[in-house]
Amino acid sequence: MNRIDSLFARLRRENGKALIAYLTVGFPSLRALPGIVDLLVGEGVDLIELGIPFSDPLADGPTIQAASQWALRQGVTVGKVFEAVRGLRRRHRDLPIGLMTYYNPVNRFGVKDFCRACAREQVDGVIIPDLPPEEANEFIRAARPAGLDTIFLAAPTSPISRLRQIARSSRGFIYYVSLTGVTGARASLPGQMQADVRSIKRMTRLPVCVGFGISGPAQVRQVVRAADGVIIGSALLNAIGRSSKNSWKPVESFIRLLRAACHA
């Protein structure tokens, strides 16, 4: 049982919900990453999703686009992301860590080599938003022996047949995209989200976590009523952007609010 499975097994026993935090590696800097992760874990974040910056982040809104461009200008490469994971793993032995990346950097690295490197650095799962399960055979074949969870995205427009395929191909959890659109904090989530999550849960025993558009505690409460976890990305990066080098206070207070909403 890997760290992601153990996490959800524990949450199921405790009737808890997972709080998942997304960070673009290299924003605001590679040096700041361990400190931010320590803080998030200390505040009760259950799983860290590390984004490999990409030149053309198609599924991302303005916040993550800007963070990615920033990170690339800092010279962040796939190799440096793996180094960063190694550093984090030394500090957090049991923390579930996922990587979020677009397909082209994986393709360039070599799909098999990428999965092997993930296994070596003890990454637990990989999310590739522009890789649909229909095209993912090579990736899945490489990920399974590496013990890597393949986490696929389901959208509000996915028909039942595709949801079944997404469930079959996924390990760890299913990433339900709360809305039609790209990442980025929104004022409200579509009403169909809870019903969609419940119908996916009837289809599979995998946990379902919801991301895209989550901006604050009200939405977290809305999500965890139906889902097993919530993923916070752009709004967290915005809080990081509001912080200064010496104080992550805005991050701390923001994540505390979300954690409380998650438990409610």
Write out the residues near other proteins by the rule CB under 8 A.
54-56, 58-59, 61, 65, 69, 72, 77-79, 103-109, 130, 132, 134, 155, 157-159, 162, 180-182
Which residues does the annotation mark as catalytic?
A: 49, 60
Q: How far, in Å, are 83, 163, 207 from residue 90 at the CA level?
A: 11, 37, 27
- By beta-carbon proximity to other proteins, the closer residue of 6 and 180 is 180
Q: Which residue has the tokens 């032995």?
A: 93
Task: State the nearest-atom distance from the C-beta of 103 to other proteins, in Å.
Answer: 5
- By beta-carbon proximity to other proteins, the closer residue of 79 and 145 is 79
- Structural tokens at position 198: 């419940």
Task: State the nearest-atom distance from the C-beta of 155 to other proteins, in Å.
Answer: 8
Helix (H) or strand (E) holding 12: helix 3-14
Task: State the nearest-atom distance from the C-beta of 68 to other proteins, in Å.
Answer: 10
- By beta-carbon proximity to other proteins, the closer residue of 157 and 247 is 157
- Sheet of strand 208-211: strand arrangement: 149-151, 125-127, 97-100, 47-51, 18-24, 229-232, 208-211, 174-177, 153-154
Task: State the nearest-atom distance from the C-beta of 231 to other proteins, in Å.
Answer: 17
Coil, helix or strand for 234? helix
Asked if residue 176 lies in contact with residue 208, where contact means CB atoms within 8 angstroms, the answer is: yes
- By beta-carbon proximity to other proteins, the closer residue of 95 and 189 is 189
